[in-house]
């Protein structure tokens, strides 16, 4: 909230995604809802931050907010309407894959990297196991990019380098029924169960945050699920009686100290590591951190680094290239 | 949109990880004329991107 440049960048990136992935977004807008005096005070700073970042925001009385979103807690004190949209977390990435595949990229699912091949401080490829056949083989490459998110450290270790990734899982809850049509946020610093996102006929409540050493087998702590219900119901009371469709944990790939306590204090920013610069290992680049809405920008930055290393001087075209529909991924 | 097959002497970039970042990067790099392979240990976009559902 204190970083106007980040806010402006976020809005620009959203506009690029809307332009290049038409049909993938529900333009439902968002509400920040104040339930206490502390929330209201936070809201004043949020309004200033929006102004500074040139984000068009509209202050609403409780009556105006309830007209837009009748399921809100009627005890709300104030709300702020901001431009927001929702998208399907699987279908947007599928559109990138579909378009890349159409343009010649080879996409190999169920293919696990077992080792990174290197010699004289230079990575030259990987050893993979094809889980559909059980066969292992080697794939050579001029550059290997580690884009494994919370698993980045494991792959980096195979290459003999280090990345300061702290996997930070959070629990998400999917409830039957569309309990709101806008993205409803609690107007306070990021906390448990303080965002409700409508998605098709479900409502997603998120999220908690803790830290783990390994991003596999996270489990779904019952007390975190209870917190989603408890805190979510403060924003939209119908959360309390809603049937649970699913609960799951997903690990964010946060960049930062492994000594952090909860993950909340770590930034959602992203970073591209050229391990030739940092550790003298050529041919190996890691991209990590960030979030779904910054994936395209992360890719642009990483592609700039990769092309720079290869001596390729071609500009990024993903700001304007319209993507194929997600269904095209499955067309051979 | 299809750029056709890339020249076999184009540099080859191997991307490990089939999530949103790997997908966006593959899209970017092929548009810049590079040969690209993405490897993912499971189905694409099912790791961190959407996570495993514990449905009830």
CATH of the domain at A277: 3.50.50.60
Q: Which of A229, A255, A281 is the last residue of a domain?
A: A255
Q: Is residue A260 part of a domain?
A: no
The angle, 0 to 180 degrees and rounded to 10, between the axes of the packed helices A4-20 and A295-310 is 90
Looking at the 3D structure of chain A, how many domains does it have? Answer: 2
Q: Do B32 and A307 touch (CB under 8 A)?
A: yes
ipTM for the complex? Answer: 0.86
What is the overall mean pLDDT for chain B?
80
In a domain, A272, yes or no: yes
pLDDT digit string, tens, across residues A171-225: 999 999 999 999 999 999 988 889 999 998 999 998 888 888 888 878 899 999 9
Q: What is the pLDDT of residue B26?
A: 98
Measured in degrees and rounded to the nearest 5, phi and psi for residue A42 equal -60, -40
Question: Is A202 found in the same domain as A106?
Answer: no
pLDDT of residue A1: 46
Q: Which domain holds residue A136?
A: 91-164+267-329
| Residue B53 reports pLDDT greater than 50 | no
Kindly determine whether residue B50 and residue A250, on different chains, have CB atoms separated by under 8 Å. Answer: yes
Query: Could B21 and A298 be called an inter-chain contact, meaning their C-beta atoms sit closer than 8 Å?
Result: yes
Answer yes or no: do A159 and A174 share one domain. no
Provide the CATH number for the domain around residue A243.
3.30.9.10
Stretch 1-56 of chain B: residues touching chain A, C-beta under 8 Å = 1-6, 11-56
Residues A274, A323, single domain; the answer is yes
* Predicted local distance difference test score (pLDDT) of residue A266: 53
Residue A257's pLDDT is what?
57
Helix (H) or strand (E) holding B21: helix B20-31
In a domain, A208, yes or no: yes
Contact list, A110 vs chain B (CB under 8 Å): 40-43
**Which of A255, A289, A314 finishes a domain?**
A255
Are A138 and A233 members of one domain? no
Are residues A181 and A244 located together in one domain of the fold?
Answer: yes
Tokens of A68: 């837009």
Task: For residue B4, list chain A residues with Cβ-Cβ distance below 8 A.
Answer: 104
Specify whether A170 is located in the same domain as A250.
yes
Is residue A11 domain-resident? no
Which residues of chain A are under the pLDDT cut of 50? Answer: 1-2
pLDDT at A5: 61
Q: Rounded to two decimals, what is the model's pTM?
A: 0.86
Query: Is the pLDDT score of B46 beyond 50?
Result: yes
Chain B hits for A247, Cβ within 8 Å:
54, 56
pLDDT at A190: 84
Q: Looking at the domain assignment, is residue A22 inside a domain?
A: no
Residues A207, A170 contacting (CB under 8 angstroms): yes
Closest by Cα among A106, A266, A64 to B22: A106
> What is the mean pLDDT of the segment spanning B34-48?
89
Same domain, A181 and A246: yes
**Pick from B13, B27, B40: which is nearest to A141 by CB?**
B13
**CB contacts, 8 Å: A93 with chain B:** 19-20, 23-24, 44-45, 49
Cβ <8 Å between B37 and A141: yes
Query: Of the candidates B12, B41, B47, which has its C-beta nearest A141's C-beta?
Result: B12
Establish if A1 belongs to a structural domain.
no
Would you say B18 and B37 are in contact if contact means Cβ atoms under 8 Å apart? no
Residue A57 lies in a domain: yes
Judging contacts by C-beta atoms under 8 Å, the chain A residues touching residue B32 are 303, 307, 312, 314-317
Q: Which residues on B lie below 8 Å from A151 (Cβ)?
A: 17, 47
Size of the A and B interface in Cβ pairs below 8 Å: 225
A151 lies in the same domain as A33: no
Q: Where are the alpha helices (DSSP H) in chain A?
A: 4-20, 37-52, 62-68, 91-102, 152-158, 222-235, 275-279, 295-310
Could you tell me which of A174, A167, A172, A151 has the C-alpha nearest to residue A221?
A: A172
- Contact status of A216 with chain B (Cβ, < 8 Å): no
CA distances from A209 to A77, A109, B18, B36 (A): 27, 29, 24, 35
The reply to whether A90 touches chain B by the CB within 8 Å rule is yes
Which chain B residue is nearest to residue A106, measuring alpha carbons? B37
Of the three residues A222, A255, A288, the one that is the final residue of a domain is A255
Whether A9 is in a domain gets the answer no
Which residues is A199 bridged to in the sheet? A202
Beta carbons within 10 angstroms of residue A243's beta carbon: 9
pLDDT tens-digit series, residues A20-47:
999 999 889 999 999 999 999 999 999 9
Comparing A93-102, A186-195, B12-21, B22-31, the range with the smallest average pLDDT is A186-195
Q: How far is CA A149 from CA A32, A154, A191, A262, A320, in A?
A: 29, 10, 22, 18, 26
Whether A240 and A277 share a structural domain: no
Task: Give the best residue of B28, B33, B54 to mutate against chain A (max A CB count within 10 A).
Answer: B28
The reply to whether A224 and A315 lie within a common domain is no
Q: Which residues of A touch B28 (CB under 8 A)?
A: 296, 299-300, 302-303, 316-318
The answer to whether residues A156 and A176 belong to one domain is: no
- Tell me, what's the pLDDT at A332? 77
Q: Are residues A79 and A199 in the same domain?
A: yes
């Amino acid at each position: 909230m204190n970083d106007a440049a980040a806010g402006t960048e976020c809005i620009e990136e959203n506009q690029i995604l809307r332009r290049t992935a038409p049909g993938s977004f529900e333009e439902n807008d968002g509400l920040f809802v104040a339930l206490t005096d502390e929330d209201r005070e936070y809201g004043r700073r949020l309004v200033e931050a929006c102004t500074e970042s040139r984000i068009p925001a509209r202050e609403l009385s409780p009556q105006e907010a309830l007209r837009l979103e009748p399921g809100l807690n009627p005890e709300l004190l104030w709300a702020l309407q901001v431009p927001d949209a929702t998208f399907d977390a699987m279908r947007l990435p599928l559109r990138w894959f579909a378009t890349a595949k159409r343009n010649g990229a080879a996409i190999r699912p169920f293919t696990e990297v077992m080792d990174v091949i290197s010699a004289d401080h230079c990575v030259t490829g990987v050893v993979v196991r094809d889980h559909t056949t059980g066969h292992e083989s080697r794939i050579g490459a001029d550059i290997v990019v580690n884009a494994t998110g919370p698993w980045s450290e494991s792959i980096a270790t195979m290459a003999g380098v280090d990345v300061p990734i702290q996997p930070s899982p959070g629990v998400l809850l999917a409830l039957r029924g569309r309990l709101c049509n806008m993205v409803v946020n609690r107007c306070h610093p990021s906390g448990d169960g303080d965002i409700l996102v409508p998605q098709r006929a479900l409502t997603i409540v998120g999220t908690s945050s803790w830290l783990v050493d390994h991003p596999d087998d996270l489990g779904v702590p019952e007390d975190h699920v209870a917190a989603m219900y408890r805190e979510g119901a403060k924003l939209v009371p119908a959360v309390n009686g809603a049937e649970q469709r699913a609960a799951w944990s997903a690990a964010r790939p946060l960049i930062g100290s492994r000594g952090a306590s909860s993950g909340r204090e770590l930034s959602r920013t992203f970073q591209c590591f050229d391990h030739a610069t940092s550790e003298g290992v050529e041919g190996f680049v890691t991209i990590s951190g960030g979030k779904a809405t910054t994936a395209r920008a992360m890719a642009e930055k990483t592609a700039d680094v990769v092309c720079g290393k290869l001596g390729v001087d071609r500009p990024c075209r993903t700001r304007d290239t319209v993507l194929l529909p997600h269904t095209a991924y499955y067309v051979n | 949109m299809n750029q056709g097959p890339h020249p076999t002497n184009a540099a080859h970039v191997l991307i490990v990880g089939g999530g949103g970042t790997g997908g966006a990067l593959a899209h970017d790099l092929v548009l810049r004329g590079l040969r690209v392979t993405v490897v993912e240990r499971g189905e694409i976009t099912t790791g961190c991107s959407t996570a495993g559902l514990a449905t009830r």
